[in-house]
Structure 1
Amino acid sequence: MEAHLAFPLLIALIGVALLFDFLNGLHDAANSIATIVSTRVLKPQYAVAWAAFFNFIAFLFFGLHVAETVGKGIVNADIIDASVIFGALMGAIAWNLITWGLGIPSSSSHALVGGLLGAGTAKSGLSAIVWSGVFKTSAAIVISPAVGLFLALMLVLAISWIFRKFTPQGADRVFRKLQLVSASLYSLGHGGNDAQKTMGIIAVLLYSQGLLTGGFHVPMWVVLSCQAAMGLGTLLGGWKIVHTMGSKITRLTPAQGFCAETGGAITLFMATHLGVPVSTTHTITGAIVGVGASRRLSAVRWNVASSIIVAWVVTLPAAAAIGALFYGLTRLF
């Protein structure tokens, strides 16, 4: 570990981490609210406030397993210093801004993991990598959307049978109310999994500076700061991505929106419990595709879905390259 940072620099780096968390909320706000907006259950301004609230209170419902994975389960915590953290954050932030500007729903989570891998490897080579954590996170790239797709598809089939005697208008009335519940659950899952990634980054920064007593852990002020930053980002929203997620992939009814959100929420709850830093973007996209495919395969705009998949594949190496670059820049000073 390097010599201790001057206090103003430490505060500035924590500020950069919270900026990433804010941008994560901004970038991924669409995941929480796309379906509830596209089904016109809530107007966008109310939907973001709804999502932001449940994002913030997520820490009350989940442990901090994901924060621990990010803090010490991707790159060896003992080699992490302020330069590695800076490189990781800049890699993630830069990639988030690029994809946000283009309206591409890539993964903030995997951008952060990529940035951390790039900066850590730039410092200490491949020996810095905790391969078990990387494999777990990489597997989630495939597994989380698949689980989201499967659960959403099963929910659609079950609901179609349960509500088979309802008129379409009657079913819509029921699910417009139920979507408020499913959107809340999804926002809880989003806040619970995504905010913990920044908690892990700040905690390992404090650990590298010898500021955590009793070993690696996440202080409560870090938890609250990260949840607040993500909630604020969600409140400001990302409307380009809402449009892509909510209507370009497939058109949704309230019942289908409920199934997509519930399938996504269950997936996030399981991942957070297991300490796996999954992508909320991947999860809800898989769920929306599952809902669309339940009608017929042609209901899914596969050209849009495929362009999103390309962005997913590129995210990890792109963020890693940017993270390594920024780490290298810090070595010049």
Structure 2
Amino acid sequence: MPADGQTETRQQVNQWKTLDKDLGRIGRLEEATLFISRPLVAPGLALVFVVLATVGALAVFGLDNSGWIVVAAAAVGAYMALNIGANDVANNMGPAVGAKALTMGGALAIAAVAEVAGAFIAGGDVVGTISGGIVAPEMVAEPHLFVRLMMSALIAAALWINLATALGAPVSTTHSVVGGVVGAGIVAAGFDAVNWPMVGSIAASWVISPVMGGVIAAAILAFIKARITYAEDKIGAARLWVPVLVGIMTGAFATYLITKGLKRVVSVDPLTALLLGCVLGALAWAISRPLVRRASEGAENRKKSLKPLFGLPLVISAALLSFAHGANDVANAVGPLAAVVHTVALGDVATSVELPLWVMAIGALGISVGLVLFGPKLILMVGSEITKLNPMRAFCVALSAAITVIVASWMGLPVSSTHIAVGAIFGVGFYREWHAERRARFLGLKKGKVLAPEERARRKLVRRSHMTTIAAAWVITVPFSAGLAAAIYWLLTLMSR
């Protein structure tokens, strides 16, 4: 029989084992709880932002004399800004992240700062209230009808963008707002109130934007391959042409920002903006020449050595795209809100209104918060799931976006920055497919081989399923937002009786 001391020792050991098992179970329970609650953190923080925006509007307007309408509009505007940040900004940062020029954390930080800076430094003081004349103002001259129309359009656009983000489809926030205005406008004032030629031009941009972006991006990539990638002296070719491409990129972005993003700071005509862009582009070319030479010293004569040379220009271009986006697209989030504030405060309907600082803050901060909380999913999809990107290909996408917007604006064509960026990614991918098949066929014929159909199918470098999903989302954006806004307007009308 064991001694009493041995029995006591065994009991102590068993107690410790039992305690360890209990602690292990508690630890696993805590891990499971954290795993389940993790998806709720982002929506919770988003709700906090909406509540803060609502409290801010309440402090400014109160609940007297229709102030509750402004408070409700502020909540919806904050929700809209969060969705724009979750969806639209992915087009700016996705290529840089997909090319591994930026980490996800770095991309989120740069984009958040650039979006806020663009909105506050270069955001417009005056915004259009009916999305560029989509609905005739005289047809909704009654303040209560106008406020209801703006609220319906804002709610419908925000809900659609939220759904599109959940489905992993980058869509145009401008088109979403326009669709909402069209649908609510039809219910409020009839079909004759809608400027249908303007709606038709927007529909045409579904094709114009991605095609232009894709063609220009493919042309830039073809140039890089011909002049640098397949040159015998790759490093020497890079030292010659990379500064030229950096100069073109700088000139394009400078022209773009001067004409589109800096109206609040300075207003210049397109020709002057182009001349200033050329001067800044030449300056960037001169500065980048010694930098590229220094960065390429000791590099091997191989394609892998070329990728780091495009890394820094790609990061800068992504930051500039986010700055321009904050300057231009913040009105999509807060334009209808500013219209509601103006109408409630002054009691009249205006085609354009001043943008109060607190309204601008809701839009700018909401876009950045939405990007940080919900943006990574779409950033990864845009940057790495459509086609494989490296710094050279991603640089082509960024440069194409700037050039396409400038060319389209000079031609008077309505384009979407979202459609341009995504179209440029597809353009790069399809060009790579065509080029790879062409080289394989050439080498096969040279060796007396014929490329089998199965091998040709295996060489597809663009994921077709994403192309179908994105194209479908683009096509239904305006009709879906319009139908949803019409239903919301009808419900708001019933509630007001």
Q: Same fold (TM over 0.5)?
A: yes
Q: Specify whether residues 207 and 74 from structure 1 end up closer, same or farther in structure 2 by C-alpha distance, changes over 3 A only.
A: farther
Q: Specify whether residues 111 and 259 from structure 1 end up closer, same or farther in structure 2 by C-alpha distance, changes over 3 A only.
A: same
Q: Specify whether residues 148 and 325 from structure 1 end up closer, same or farther in structure 2 by C-alpha distance, changes over 3 A only.
A: same
**Are 1:193 and 1:272, in contact at CA under 8 Å, matched by a contact in 2?**
no
Q: For residues 103 and 307 of structure 1, what CA distance do their matches in structure 2 show?
A: 8
Q: For residues 274 and 218 of structure 1, what CA distance do their matches in structure 2 show?
A: 29
The answer to whether 1:144 aligns with 2:239 is no
1:30-75 CA-to-partner distances (Å, cap 9, x unmatched) read 212111111111111110111122222224346579x438545222
Q: Specify whether residues 108 and 41 from structure 1 end up closer, same or farther in structure 2 by C-alpha distance, changes over 3 A only.
A: same
Larger radius of gyration: 2
The answer to whether 1:39 aligns with 2:104 is no
Q: For residues 334 and 344 of structure 2, what CA distance do their matches in structure 1 show?
A: 15
Once the two structures are overlaid, the 10-residue window that deviates more, 212-221 or 36-45, is: 212-221
Out of 315, 321, 329, which is 1:180 matched to? 315
Deviation at 1:84, TM superposition (A): 0.9
* Residue aligning to 1:300: 462
* Residue aligning to 1:20: 80
* Residue aligning to 1:201: 336
* Residue aligning to 2:353: 217
* Residue aligning to 2:385: 248
**Are 1:71 and 1:204, in contact at CA under 8 Å, matched by a contact in 2?**
no
* Residue aligning to 2:474: 312
1:55-104 CA-to-partner distances (Å, cap 9, x unmatched) read 22224346579x43854522223416121112111211221222222222
* Residue aligning to 1:121: 186
Q: Aligned pair count?
A: 329
* Residue aligning to 1:264: 401
Q: Specify whether residues 266 and 173 from structure 1 end up closer, same or farther in structure 2 by C-alpha distance, changes over 3 A only.
A: same
Q: Specify whether residues 96 and 155 from structure 1 end up closer, same or farther in structure 2 by C-alpha distance, changes over 3 A only.
A: same
Out of 418, 441, 456, which is 1:281 matched to? 418
**Are 1:55 and 1:188, in contact at CA under 8 Å, matched by a contact in 2?**
yes
Deviation at 1:122, TM superposition (A): 1.1
Q: For residues 102 and 92 of structure 1, what CA distance do their matches in structure 2 show?
A: 15
Structure-2-length-normalised TM-score: 0.60
Q: For residues 149 and 70 of structure 1, what CA distance do their matches in structure 2 show?
A: 31
**Are 1:193 and 1:278, in contact at CA under 8 Å, matched by a contact in 2?**
no
Q: Specify whether residues 119 and 32 from structure 1 end up closer, same or farther in structure 2 by C-alpha distance, changes over 3 A only.
A: same
1:266-296 CA-to-partner distances (Å, cap 9, x unmatched) read 3345667899874333121101011112212
Deviation at 1:324, TM superposition (A): 0.6
Q: For residues 103 and 110 of structure 1, what CA distance do their matches in structure 2 show?
A: 17
Q: Specify whether residues 192 and 133 from structure 1 end up closer, same or farther in structure 2 by C-alpha distance, changes over 3 A only.
A: farther
After the TM superposition, list the runs of 4 or more consecutive aligned residues in structure 1 that deviate by more than 3 angstroms. 59-65, 69-72, 206-215, 222-225, 265-280
Structure-1-length-normalised TM-score: 0.87
The answer to whether 1:322 aligns with 2:488 is no
Amino acid at match of 2:91: N
Unaligned runs of 5+ in 2: 1-63, 236-301, 435-459
Out of 76, 79, 89, which is 2:136 matched to? 76
The answer to whether 1:10 aligns with 2:55 is no
* Residue aligning to 1:158: 223
Amino acid at match of 2:215: F
Q: For residues 104 and 33 of structure 1, what CA distance do their matches in structure 2 show?
A: 15
* Residue aligning to 2:113: 53
Unaligned runs of 5+ in 1: none
Deviation at 1:308, TM superposition (A): 1.0
Once the two structures are overlaid, the 10-residue window that deviates more, 228-237 or 54-63, is: 54-63
Q: For residues 190 and 65 of structure 2, what CA distance do their matches in structure 1 show?
A: 23
Q: Specify whether residues 303 and 102 from structure 1 end up closer, same or farther in structure 2 by C-alpha distance, changes over 3 A only.
A: closer
Deviation at 1:207, TM superposition (A): 4.3
The answer to whether 1:168 aligns with 2:233 is no
1:157-193 CA-to-partner distances (Å, cap 9, x unmatched) read 2323442423322211111111112211221333233
**Are 2:125 and 2:355, in contact at CA under 8 Å, matched by a contact in 1?**
no
Q: For residues 238 and 5 of structure 1, what CA distance do their matches in structure 2 show?
A: 38
* Residue aligning to 2:23: none
Query: Larger relative contact order (C-alpha < 8 A, sep ≥ 6)?
Result: 1
**Are 2:83 and 2:367, in contact at CA under 8 Å, matched by a contact in 1?**
yes
1:206-244 CA-to-partner distances (Å, cap 9, x unmatched) read 443363899723325244442232222223242332232
1:239-278 CA-to-partner distances (Å, cap 9, x unmatched) read 3322321122110111101111221233345667899874
RMSD over aligned Cα atoms: 2.8
Q: Specify whether residues 306 and 327 from structure 1 end up closer, same or farther in structure 2 by C-alpha distance, changes over 3 A only.
A: same
Amino acid at match of 1:181: I
Once the two structures are overlaid, the 10-residue window that deviates more, 199-208 or 287-296, is: 199-208
Q: For residues 15 and 260 of structure 1, what CA distance do their matches in structure 2 show?
A: 35
